[in-house]
Structure 1
């Protein structure tokens, strides 16, 4: 058994990232019951980063497998453009003929058909973004904070001026955590978004 540690993600972590995303897809709790396709949360929120932005993908390794991840991109607008060209067409092929039978299936189908872009007003000051999810066994010992710090330092090395992340409005514990480590609420009317400046 090895000590838990943060390392760069690799392609071999992809299946585990899909699993972690599914098992944290209900405001940090297991969302397996919400989607008919067990890979759907990963299609929407995580797996693209391992393929398109692997230099900004890190995992928490516990006993040789990922128990959490922090993923992101320094340039959200450019990443969204790549998703339109390189990711969403592939996802549409994977999910063709999906039957709408679970609570989040329609939302997922709509998102795949019409991907959303982040508001320019957010990107002007917070052009980068990240996602982080940890399985329950990794949600202690300060690993969440250390993973965030790993990504923030990675972004600073790239000259990023500011970074944002989206939150499920029901995930009140996460909101408190982000405020505690220096993020501020920059939410527009229709989303819950926290941001942090990296150039000050």
Structure 2
């Protein structure tokens, strides 16, 4: 495990794409294959409070955990600066019909419990890195980093149909705090508020 560097950008985008359909390959599901990474992965290399750690087994990143210590600041930056700077995209696929409007939504990342759990993260591992402790190691490192940055808690959202994620997050200290028709929000306390 190591901090991500700019040279990891393409690998992070690729991992996001290859895991972007509830843990499966999202290639071809959106107007272009970079769209999902532009929403859920690469902004964390640039945005306020952002961080990225990669799992590298010697041939480049095969997994990552990334996120931000301040969801509110990151969300503001995302809709005001990041998303408008991306190439214009038009809805062409069914996936675009939720992804593209979601990216423009100024409240997309603001869960009801954002004040108690102001940090958020995303973790994705390619199959060759799964089941060997990489996910747990990345989560623990991310939680330690966020606690050092003063975040009292962290949250993440996982699709209900992503059975692996639904089983994994409780094993690494996250509890479900909310759900809607298609996703579950998990949270973990990092320190006393």
TM-score after normalising by structure 1:
0.88
Partner secondary structure for residue 199 of structure 1:
coil
Number of residue pairs matched by the alignment: 191
**C-alpha distance in 1 between matches for 2:112 and 2:77:** 20
**Conserved 8 A contact 1:9-1:54:** no
Of the three residues 172, 189, 197, the one matched with 2:189 is 197
In structure 2, runs of 5+ residues without a counterpart are none
- Please report how far the alpha carbon of residue 127 of structure 1 lies from its aligned counterpart in structure 2 after TM superposition: 0.6
> Hey, what's the Cα distance between the residues in 2 that align with 1:19 and 1:54?
23
1:3 is aligned to: none
1:170 aligns with 2:161: yes
* 1:109-188 matches, cutoff 5 A: 109-119=100-110, 121-188=112-179
Larger proportion of helix:
1
Tell me, in whole angstroms, the C-alpha distance in 2 between the residues paired with 1:67 and 1:53: 25
Residue of structure 1 aligned with 2:25, choices 30, 49, 52: 30
* Alignment RMSD (CA, Å): 1.8
Structure 1 CA distance for aligned equivalents of residues 132 and 99 of structure 2 = 33
Equivalents in 2 of 1:39, 1:193: separation in Å? Answer: 25
Shift of 1:8: 0.5
Cα 1:85–1:28 change in 2 (3 A) is: same
TM-score, length-scaled by structure 2: 0.91
Out of 10, 13, 29, which is 1:15 matched to?
Answer: 10
